[in-house]
């Protein structure tokens, strides 16, 4: 039996696509093995969101060649789409497959055919499919691809193309298959999830995001729904009124911020202000008792002065989010930010990142401590051994991670528990 290995880099959309590509090979008789094991085909689903992502993509491709000198090494995805010529010239890589070609991966590998497309002209959602997930309890469900925002720092619209939405009926059917396979939670994800159904195809593709969530809720009646990253502007009173009655939707909202300074947001070509973002948080907090609101922040964007960074710190202190993902600005070729003056030194970016990460850690501890007095439903997922004792890792609806003693429990079980710091274990309640 031939063997195939995969390594995934990047976002939740990439995770979904990797699962779907694995299915193509296992359906044709391949055995899936770990990336460090001998294989006939080694596939790396790449990322290009930052310079670090580019470097990791190259490292993993070269590692695949070193581990399996005789294998077919395949580079797939965003890094390939951004620079196909460089990938084709790399002696470690046998095949390069761009975005919007992943649904044909098995056929292209079988034919030893490299292929990239003009992603900017793509107007149809590339249909892929999963029936179950290696995570068993939680699955990513891709409902949208592409982005029309063209933030000045971002390469993604150039490697993912314009917004394309998935047929709402196909989304619901896949959610039903996942639920039937034992999946207890689906994460609706896309490159720009807030744009679902706005690509001029709503009459064929179904209604936008609110109705999509409702349809998935109907088939996931015994499980949870979680949302991927959202734009702050979608959080309106009407939208939140609609989602707040969907009882199996997790009150966990990742709202992209990027900066807490309006001048920086304008240079980033973000289409909202800090006031808009704060209003979105208030709307969510009015509708939910203790919603988890998380975000992304970029430090060291061109022109970010000490005063602008101080504004970001003050804003993030006031808005008091559960968690922040902090990124140091990474120059991307072909983006508008490449031409902006005022490059920030790497040591300054490092210090600003440290400040925000420490703030995020403080806020996360305070948010999680709420559950020491408020019982929470924890979905048991994977076994982790700590100091010789087996625990299930699990998350509550607000995406706080816990450890629950494994004895007497099983994967996929939902327990009502109380938080116990600092180990993040739980005591089971009646």
Query: pLDDT digits over 351-390, tens only?
Result: 999 999 999 999 999 999 999 999 999 999 999 998 899 9
pLDDT at 204: 41
State CA 88 to chain mean position distance: 28
Helical ranges in 247-378 per DSSP H:
262-268, 274-287, 306-319, 346-369
Using DSSP bridges, classify how beta strands 389-395 and 401-405 pair: parallel, antiparallel or unpaired. antiparallel
More reliable by pLDDT, 16 or 117 = 16
Of the pLDDT bands very low, low, confident and very high (cuts 50, 70, 90), residue 30 is very high
Residue that finishes a domain, picked among 73, 91, 117 = 117
pLDDT at 221: 87
pLDDT at 207: 44
CA-closest candidate to residue 230, choices 250, 252, 249? 252
Residue that finishes a domain, picked among 117, 148, 167 = 117
CATH number for 381: 2.40.50
Q: In the predicted model, what is the mean pLDDT of residues 194-198?
A: 94
In a domain, 193, yes or no: no
pLDDT at 420: 76
pLDDT at 292 exceeding the cut of 60: yes
In a domain, 69, yes or no: yes
Query: pLDDT digits over 136-160, tens only?
Result: 799 999 999 999 999 999 999 999 9
pLDDT at 427 exceeding the cut of 70: no
CATH number for 96: 3.40.50.12160
Q: In the predicted model, what is the mean pLDDT of residues 232-252?
A: 96
pLDDT at 421: 61
- 8 A C-beta contact, residue 281 and residue 322: no
pLDDT at 200: 67
In a domain, 399, yes or no: yes
Q: In the predicted model, what is the mean pLDDT of residues 252-281?
A: 98
Of the pLDDT bands very low, low, confident and very high (cuts 50, 70, 90), residue 135 is low
In a domain, 402, yes or no: yes
Q: In the predicted model, what is the mean pLDDT of residues 228-238?
A: 95
Query: pLDDT digits over 88-97, tens only?
Result: 999 999 999 9
pLDDT at 424: 45
Query: pLDDT digits over 34-78, tens only?
Result: 999 999 999 999 999 999 999 999 999 999 999 999 999 999 999
pLDDT at 175: 96
Phi and psi, residue 292, nearest 5°: -90, 120
Question: For residue 51, what are the domain limits?
Answer: 3-117
Q: In the predicted model, what is the mean pLDDT of residues 221-233?
A: 94
In a domain, 122, yes or no: no
Q: pTM surpassing 0.95? A: no
pLDDT at 203 exceeding the cut of 70: no
Burial bucket for residue 421 (CB in 10 Å: 0-12, 13-18, 19+) = exposed
| Separation of first and last alpha carbons in the chain | 50
Question: Phi/psi zone of residue 77: left (φ > 0), alpha (ψ -120 to 50 degrees), beta?
Answer: left
The three state secondary structure string of 104-173 is HHHHHHHCCCCECCCHHHCCCCCCCCCCCCCCCCEEEEEEEECCCCCCCCCCHHHHHCCCEECCHHHHHH
SS3 186: strand
Of the pLDDT bands very low, low, confident and very high (cuts 50, 70, 90), residue 131 is confident
What rounded mean pLDDT belongs to the chain? 93
Of the pLDDT bands very low, low, confident and very high (cuts 50, 70, 90), residue 426 is very low
CA-closest candidate to residue 383, choices 355, 407, 358, 362? 407
pLDDT at 103: 95
Query: pLDDT digits over 304-350, tens only?
Result: 999 999 999 999 999 999 999 999 999 999 999 999 999 999 999 99
Q: How far apart are CA 15 and CA 101, in angstroms?
A: 16
Q: How far apart are CA 33 and CA 35, in angstroms?
A: 6
Burial bucket for residue 410 (CB in 10 Å: 0-12, 13-18, 19+) = exposed
Helix axes 274-287, 306-319, angle to 10 degrees: 10
- Into how many domains does the chain fold? 2
In a domain, 82, yes or no: yes
In a domain, 33, yes or no: yes
pLDDT at 241: 95
Q: Residue 245, CB half-sphere, CA atoms under 13 Å: how many?
A: 8
Residue that finishes a domain, picked among 117, 148, 179 = 117
SS3 293: strand
In a domain, 235, yes or no: no
> What percent of the chain has pLDDT above 90?
89
- 8 A C-beta contact, residue 379 and residue 350: no
């Amino acid at each position: 039996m031939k063997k195939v290995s995969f390594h995934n880099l990047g976002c939740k959309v990439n995770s979904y696509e990797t699962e779907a590509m694995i299915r193509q090979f296992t359906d044709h008789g391949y055995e899936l093995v770990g990336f460090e094991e001998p294989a006939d085909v080694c596939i790396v689903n790449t990322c290009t969101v930052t310079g670090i992502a580019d470097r990791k993509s190259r490292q993993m491709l070269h590692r695949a060649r070193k581990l399996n000198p005789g294998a077919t090494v395949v580079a797939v995805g965003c890094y390939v789409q951004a620079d196909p010529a460089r990938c084709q010239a790399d002696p470690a890589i046998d095949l390069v497959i761009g975005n919007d070609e992943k649904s044909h991966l098995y056929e292209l590998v079988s034919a030893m055919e490299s292929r990239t497309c003009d992603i900017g002209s793509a107007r149809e959602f590339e249909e892929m499919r999963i029936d179950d997930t290696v995570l068993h309890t939680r699955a990513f469900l891709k409902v949208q691809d592409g982005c029309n925002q063209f933030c000045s720092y971002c390469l993604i619209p150039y490697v993912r193309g314009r917004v394309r939405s998935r047929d709402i009926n196909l989304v619901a059917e896949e959610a039903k298959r996942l639920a039937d396979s034992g999946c207890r939670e689906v994460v609706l994800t896309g490159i720009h999830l807030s744009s679902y159904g706005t690509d001029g195809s709503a009459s064929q593709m179904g209604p936008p995001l609110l109705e999509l969530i409702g349809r998935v809720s109907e088939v996931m009646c015994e499980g949870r729904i979680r949302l991927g990253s959202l734009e702050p502007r979608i959080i309106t009173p009407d939208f939140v009124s609609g989602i707040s009655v969907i009882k199996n939707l997790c009150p966990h909202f990742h709202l992209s911020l990027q900066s807490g300074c309006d001048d920086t947001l304008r240079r980033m070509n973000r289409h909202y202000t800090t006031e808009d973002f704060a209003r979105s948080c208030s709307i969510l907090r009015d509708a939910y008792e203790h919603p988890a609101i998380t975000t992304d922040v970029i430090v060291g964007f061109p022109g970010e002065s000490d005063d602008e960074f101080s504004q970001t710190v003050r804003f993030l202190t006031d808005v008091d989010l559960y968690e922040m993902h902090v990124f140091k600005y990474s120059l991307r070729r072909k983006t508008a930010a490449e031409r902006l003056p005022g490059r920030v030194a790497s040591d300054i970016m490092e210090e600003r990142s440290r400040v925000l990460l420490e703030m995020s850690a403080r806020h996360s501890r305070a948010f999680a401590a709420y559950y020491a007095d408020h019982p929470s439903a924890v979905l048991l997922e994977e076994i982790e051994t700590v100091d010789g004792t087996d625990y299930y890792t699990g998350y509550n609806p607000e995406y706080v991670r816990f450890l629950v003693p494994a004895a007497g429990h099983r994967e996929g079980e939902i327990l009502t528990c109380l938080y116990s710091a600092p180990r993040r274990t739980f005591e089971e309640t009646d």
